[in-house]
Amino acid sequence: MNKIRFLAVVMVVLLSISLVGAQMTPRGGTVVVSDGEQLVGKNFNPFAPDPLNFTDRFIYEPMLIFNPVDGGVATPWLATGYEYGEDLQSVAFNIRDGVMWSDGEMLDAGDVAFTFNLFLTVPATDKAAIGDFLESVEVVDDSTVKFNLNRVYTLAHELIGGQMIVPEHDWADVEDYALFTNSEPVGTGAMTTVADFNEQSYTLCRNESYWRVDESGEQLPYVDCIRQVLFQGNDPANLALINGELDWVGNFVPDIEQTFIAKNPEKHGYYFWPGGATVQLYSNTTKEPFSDVNFRRALSMAIDYDAVTSIGMYGYTSPANAVGLGPRYDSWVSADAIAYADSTGQTRYNPEGAMALLDEAGYVDSDGDGIRNMPGGDNIDFKVQVVNGWTDWVTSVQIMSQNFQDVGLSATVETPDFGAWFSALQNATYDVSIGWGTAGNTPYNYFRNLLLSELISDEGVANAETWGRWTSDEADALLSAFTETADMGAHMDIVNQLQMLYVENMPAIPLFPGPTWYEYTTYRFTGFPTEDNYYAQGSPWERNSAAIVISTIHCIDDMACGQ
């Protein structure tokens, strides 16, 4: 059956070549990418802590793809669909027919079951913590796999659907999965042949039996190979990008209009879609005065958000809304929460308001040194932390600390290195710090990682982004209720309530939605996402989108196609 279908596809391809040969999409060429990868060794094991970046984009594929621009809607990939059982305690996936591994074997339900049984039996491979909710895996028939859950968990399809599926016939004999480097990968992805590998770059070439075809039945991808080139830092990568040596890049480029676009406005393009996680200002609510919501609110009113985004962030993003949900989640934003924030004036630049609020809450200059004190008379003297070297954030924090000084607070900037900074956040040894948020398919992940008390370990280590340590039973209950219903209306309602909690209690101050770095040049290839046709997130480091983009771009002329 599968073989027949494949043959049919081949026939259609051949037919279309002979019929509309002149209009066929040009094929061939090597796309040169730089996504900031720091290569250490040849490791294509998708379940290793940090495999090579191309592993889960072009070699292995998941059952569902969540294109960030699609607002959390799944695109069927290795599965054609999924369905929850009536009790919401199981979910069944239908495996696509006619998908071939790069060594010629067919993908079947057995491979999927093998992959998930691996997570259950070898915890070291379970990077997404599937074992947390998955009880067992059943092969129903050749093309159906049923996942039995240990509780009602309506986000199971996102996590299950997002896992890379590995071939049973290639992986069953591996001795130690944790130490497996998989140097000759067999995958279902678009680029599975490791053509070159060295300390500066590595190249993957097309999977001759890739399952995807375009509208006219032509096999995808159009390009032959993709090469990752490594640079020690941003600057040399940016020089190469401006020189036209790179086709597809996911780098921060300062003053991009002037440095990159102006060099060749025809061939150079970028779009920093503000669909990334919202960057927030966290404060340690276990310490005074940050435990006082009025103090946090006053801080948020002291910040000159426009200066932060225009100078600190080079104008690449704009201030966040009061609930910290970026444009990607527009349909989820609660009007009530926004109205509440409007009434208090929080997260709007208003130094007078901030000063009035501080006065009212008792933070006045009681010893006459020009700096505000605690109501008890103690000095307020806090440090705002930012990772050394993250210059856009450092500038943003410098602006904010000036803003805090302007309302009479003693704030100084502190720039520990990444490790020390992260450790301070997790162990609550900081005062105030800038930090990232989470961007998931729905706002659930954002609120969960910010508010869920379970994420603070018994030893007191704050995981995910619970760095502010503001937790409540109400938030915990809402978050767990979200995973127990599949009803969209109920989800909306829960997210509304979470937003209310967020604006009332200000567990963090939302600064700006993160811009997603993405640049491209069209000297050799075309078809990249543009601002007008943003069919997928452009950043080459976004794996869901990258799998779509690689099968959309194609070379433009004989020279590019021949490379």
Q: Residue 282 to residues 231, 300, 384, 445, 466: CA-CA distances in angstroms?
A: 32, 11, 9, 17, 9
Pattern 509-548, another protein, x by CB under 8 A = ----------------------------------------
Strand order in the sheet with 225-229: 191-197, 201-206, 225-229, 30-34, 248-249, 519-521, 268-270
The least CB distance from residue 348 to another protein, in Å, is 20
Pattern 273-302, another protein, x by CB under 8 A = ----x-------------------------
Nearer to another protein, 323 or 341 (CB): 323
Nearer to another protein, 80 or 463 (CB): 463
Counting Cβ atoms within 10 Å, is residue 24 exposed (0-12), middle (13-18) or buried (19+)? Answer: middle
Q: Which of residues 332-371 bind another protein (CB under 8 A)?
A: none
From 41-49, 91-99, 267-275, 474-482, give the range in contact with another protein by CB under 8 A. 41-49
18, 200, 331, 533: residue in contact with another protein (rule CB under 8 A): 200
Q: Residue 181 to residues 63, 166, 310: CA-CA distances in angstroms?
A: 23, 13, 44
From 54-62, 240-248, 481-489, 550-558, give the range in contact with another protein by CB under 8 A. 240-248
Q: Residue 263 to residues 11, 246, 438: CA-CA distances in angstroms?
A: 45, 14, 35
Q: How many residues are there in the chain? A: 563
* Binding status of residue 265 toward another protein by CB under 8 A: no
Nearer to another protein, 242 or 354 (CB): 242
From 91-99, 229-237, 288-296, 356-364, give the range in contact with another protein by CB under 8 A. 229-237
Q: Which of residues 104-143 bind another protein (CB under 8 A)?
A: 123-129, 132
The least CB distance from residue 228 to another protein, in Å, is 9
Other CB atoms within 10 A of residue 329 CB: 23
Nearer to another protein, 85 or 460 (CB): 460
From 37-45, 144-152, 214-222, 528-536, give the range in contact with another protein by CB under 8 A. 37-45
DSSP H helical segments within 143-255, as ranges?
Answer: 156-161, 168-171, 234-242
3, 17, 38, 379: residue in contact with another protein (rule CB under 8 A): 38
The least CB distance from residue 366 to another protein, in Å, is 27
What residues contact residue 6 under an 8 Å CB cut-off, 6+ apart?
98, 100
User: Where are the strands (E) in 142-224, listed by range?
Assistant: 144-149, 191-197, 201-206
Distance CA 371, CA 355 (A): 12
From 6-14, 70-78, 251-259, 495-503, give the range in contact with another protein by CB under 8 A. 251-259
Can you state the angle between helices 391-406 and 293-302, rounded to 10 degrees? 110
Give the bridge partners for 92, in sequence order: 83, 146
* Binding status of residue 240 toward another protein by CB under 8 A: yes
Sign of CA dihedral 521, 526, 532, 537: negative
The least CB distance from residue 441 to another protein, in Å, is 12
The least CB distance from residue 443 to another protein, in Å, is 13
